[in-house]
Amino acid sequence: MSRFLRCLTLVAGMTSIAQGQGAGAARPTVGRSMVTTRLGIVASSSPLAAKAGTQVLEMGGNAVDAAIAANAVIALTEPSGDGIGGDLFAIIYDAKSGQLHGLNAAGWAPRALTADVLRAKGQTAVRGIHSVTVPGAVAGWDAMRRKFGSLGFAQLLAPAIYYAEEGFPVTEQVARMWGRAVDRLDDNAYTKATFLLDGTRAPTEGEVFRNPDLARTFRRIAERGRDGFYTGPVAEAIVRLSKEEGGLMELDDLRELEAEWVTPISTTYRGWTVYELPAPTQGIAALMMLNLMEQAPLGDWGFHSARSLHYMIEAKKLAYADMLKYTADPRFTKVPTAAMLDKKAAAERARQIDPARAACTVTPATYQSVAGLQGSETIYLTVVDKDGNMVSLIQSIYSEFGSALTAPGTGVLLHNRGSLFSLDPASVNVLAGRKRPLHTIIPAFMEKDGTRISFGIMGGWNQSQAHAQFVSNIADYGMTIQQALEAGRFSKNSFDGCDVNIESLVPAGVIDQLKASGHQVTTVGPRSGTFGWGQAVQRGPSGVNFGASEPRHDGAAIPQGAPIRKP
């Protein structure tokens, strides 16, 4: 077969994959093309992180090695949403076995911290130092590397160590987030010294920032693996900070944490199998949304039609109500996962959707400790290598700059993931020692007929609904992964009421129709952080890889370079 015919065959195959049920539907006008290569791709919201990942691929590392290297760099370059003081989740596709593996690297509350303890202090919510659960990210790196990695931590962390010591220019979006958090960063002396230039201000776009303390922490991890974080000087600094702030964390809480390998949960949608991680993440809500959306002919109704958007918004309300009612750490409560994903149950529940009118209240009711929290600072990255191994990885410190508390001498900003615990003894998510809180961050994966897509879209409670919209864009409307990421979105971050944010990429006439149906719409300008930002990679039966990164952030999908051979 000639090269020309091979190219035609590849394009035809890609088109048939993309088309799905809604091939004739309108599609969004995109600002970027997909990256295409037979070698690996790393897609990240930080171009420096994506480049670090591709460098590892070029050194002979695999997708897992590249994901760890990229995550370490973005833990430095995007401190508003990421860092090793937070948690990590991943879905890993092992090409050799054809198996998917889920990783839960979420930390737990200190053993001594309970709802009773905080209620006795007169507290009504989990805040401040008590919201700092044990960070799980480094335990996640360790588990990933031991099971699938091919390189050592010294090689994987070398790019992050370089940037932490030599500095990096702060990007546009990160500078904007940094600038609006100065008041929070000023509250803690260690944080102020680490993250404010001259102790007074945030770096501006293009200004060089260094974190030498974090470089030393990375070096300890490079030398000692997980023990470089969970024992020794770093662990002691975290406990010291906790004591100074009135917290209850002990060295045992850090030393005894291990990441857990879990089985991803899944559902089918228009012939695709879609995977998320089980409790304590919100991933089940994306699958429940899809089961509800499957009851309606969205492809026939049309992309960004008022009927389609109305139905999806109403499906979101029902799915989230159930998720919030039942999802918690499965080591502490029985989560009825199978019942929540039952197709017959979804068909019955879909009958509650009024095709003409928005519902402002759905059952079961949400618990008040979660409603209204708007934490959304997260990073998502994804990797595919030349052999077809894929990593879907998400990492976060929860709120913007997490707890805004930094462990002295480490450069590590600690997350506030414990804010999602409840103090209500009737809640499945009630705070308890060594319990993991309900988690917003979720990686995702989907496959059909030999085509696999690793994807994620960050942004607090936006994530499940954004995942469902991404899947629908591909399965219902025949979009490419780049189009599916750039398409306008809706986002409803409250759990009651008819309010919903809709991106102005949706036609104004459609928004007017939604308002007439009872939706209280706030129209938000295009490409804002309200709707999160994501990445995706795809591999089909031909062995060609595609990468996408949306323009709502500073990110990029960067291909692995070809090996340089001597002439």
Residues with a catalytic annotation lie at 378
Strand order in the sheet with 499-503: 490-491, 499-503, 520-524
Residue 317 φ/ψ region, left for φ over 0, alpha for ψ in the -120 to 50 degree band, beta for the rest: alpha
Give the phi and the psi of residue 177 in degrees, each rounded to 5: -70, -40
The 10 Å CB-count burial string (b at 16+, else e) for 215-237 is bbbbbbbbeebbbbbbeeebbbb
CB 414 within 8 A of CB 229: no
Q: Is 105 helix (H, G, I), strand (E, B) or coil?
A: strand
Max distance between CA atoms of the chain, in angstroms, equals 77
Nearest alpha carbon to residue 276 among 15, 39, 89: 89
Strand order in the sheet with 534-539: 35-37, 545-549, 534-539, 451-457, 444-448, 272-276, 265-269
CA atoms of 492 and 524, how far apart (whole Å): 12
CA atoms of 528 and 55, how far apart (whole Å): 30
CB 276 within 8 A of CB 269: no
For helices 63-77 and 47-58, the axis angle rounded to 10 degrees is 150
Nearest alpha carbon to residue 559 among 36, 20, 96, 26: 36
| The one-letter amino acid at 551 | P
| The one-letter amino acid at 166 | E
Please, what is the end-to-end C-alpha distance for the chain in angstroms? 28
CA atoms of 495 and 64, how far apart (whole Å): 36
**Beta strands in 95-222, from DSSP E residues, in sequence order:** 99-105, 168-169, 208-209
